[in-house]
Amino acid sequence: MSLMQKITVFLFSWLVLSSCGLDSYMYLEPVTESSVVRTSNYGVSFTLDDYSSVSLNFQTSNIPSINGQDMSYFHSHYYLFYKIYVSGFTELSPSETTYASINPTLGSDYTSLKPYTVVTNNYASSVASAFSSRKFFRIDNASNPLILRSRDLITPYPTAENNGRYFFYSADLINPNYLNANNNADVTANSTAGGDTLAYTAIYVAQRAFDPLSLTEIYSIPTFLGVFLLPNNFNFLTVNFNNLSIAALNSASPPPYTARATITLGSAESGLLDITNISVEDVSGVGMPITMTSLTQAGGVYTLDLSNEWVDFSGDQIKITLNRSGYNFIPSSLIATVP
């Protein structure tokens, strides 16, 4: 059921219930616990109220679309609440029995928030305050398809230049000097003595909507998605491609002159790029502008059609750069000669 349909049903129900002298409230379906499946040490999948499936992966910092779901629906209708915990305890599959061992605050947070995740408890109206009181933050999932630490952080460490808002372990992330309200306010120190060389995150998901009667944002019962060890590297932030080839130029008159470039990506990048992430430059002496007219993809192989409206660019060297626009990724480039 779409958000507009829910609001329509709610307004109709409110009119009926109000005429009977009964209190009414807007109800949002929570993510069902039975749909939550841990897919790896760093990932989890779950099902939304429209039966589409979503998966999170902290190793690739990715929220991919599954079943053809338009992820704008997820971004506009759901919140992901998170908190990061410093630890010296290794546990690849954390469970209720090991949360306190990972970090004592994780154990107490889980116990405190558990009643809010029980559907029979009427705690939905206090979801936001419950997470706020435990110093949880909302994942900034407005930038499809990436999951980033909260945009409410003032100066998070690592710094933005070092990809500071991605979910990965680093010495700066757990540095006691940065565990304060101005820096890593989303990270909790470990009160247990020991070598703190790990970080975990606890994640909850809740559906959200705007109540037109109370003029406030309301939530479903939150669903606990689990605790995940953060990866200790961010190699996934580098966009690599293995090879580039360019087919012979179509120089038949009249123009435009066209060629076709084939780009093979590494498996980690396959399926994550679109034409806005690619730039093309003629790096030969003339340096004529090249236009990208289309991009198709099959597996890890991308086919990019190139065009020049005026000049035959056969024999020129073409530089193609891969990036992910708007994110702090390291670009990768290759040069090939047009036959």
Same domain assignment for residues 73 and 96: yes
Residue ranges making up the domain that contains 270: 238-337
| Last residue in a domain, options 209, 234, 259 | 234
Number of compact structural domains in the chain? 2
Residue 6 has pLDDT above 60, yes or no: no
pLDDT of residue 64: 47
Other CB atoms within 10 Å distance of the CB of residue 303: 14
Residue 225: helix, strand or coil by DSSP? Answer: strand
| Residue 12 maps to a domain | no
Q: What is the mean pLDDT of residues 309-315?
A: 83
Same domain assignment for residues 56 and 174: yes
The sign of the torsion formed by the CA atoms of 189, 190, 194, 196 equals negative
| Residue 9 maps to a domain | no
| Last residue in a domain, options 177, 211, 234 | 234
Across 174-188, 230-244, 323-337, which has the greatest mean pLDDT?
174-188
Confidence of residue 77 (pLDDT cuts 50, 70, 90): confident
| Residue 17 maps to a domain | no
Same domain assignment for residues 195 and 114: yes
| Residue 20 maps to a domain | no
Same domain assignment for residues 78 and 140: yes
Confidence of residue 135 (pLDDT cuts 50, 70, 90): very high
Nearest to 233 by CA among 50, 28, 60, 37: 60
Same domain assignment for residues 165 and 302: no
What's the N-to-C CA distance of the chain in angstroms? 54
Residue-by-residue DSSP string for 33-90: GGG-EEEETTEEEEE-TTS-EEEEETTTTB--B-TT--HHHHHHHEEEEEEEEEES--
Same domain assignment for residues 144 and 171: yes
Write the burial class of residue 248 (CB in 10 Å: 0-12 exposed, 13-18 middle, 19+ buried).
exposed
Q: Which residue has the higher pLDDT, 124 or 191?
A: 191
CA distances in angstroms from 233 to 137, 174, 267, 313, listed in the order given: 23, 14, 17, 41
Same domain assignment for residues 205 and 271: no
Same domain assignment for residues 164 and 222: yes
Confidence of residue 195 (pLDDT cuts 50, 70, 90): low
Give backbone dihedrals phi and psi of 249, rounded to 5 degrees, phi first: -70, 140
Same domain assignment for residues 277 and 217: no
Same domain assignment for residues 243 and 126: no
| Residue 313 maps to a domain | yes
226 vs 205: CA distance, rounded Å: 10
Q: Convert the pLDDT of each residue in 21-49 to its tens digit.
A: 444 556 788 888 889 988 877 788 888 87
**Which CATH number do you get for residue 273?**
2.60.40.10
Q: Convert the pLDDT of each residue in 81-101 to its tens digit.
A: 999 999 988 888 899 999 999
Same domain assignment for residues 126 and 158: yes
Report the DSSP pairing between strands 198-211 and 223-229: antiparallel
| Residue 16 maps to a domain | no
Nearest to 264 by CA among 254, 256, 252, 273: 273
228 vs 76: CA distance, rounded Å: 24
Same domain assignment for residues 196 and 145: yes
| Residue 106 maps to a domain | yes
Element of type H or E holding 11: helix 3-19
| Last residue in a domain, options 234, 257, 279 | 234
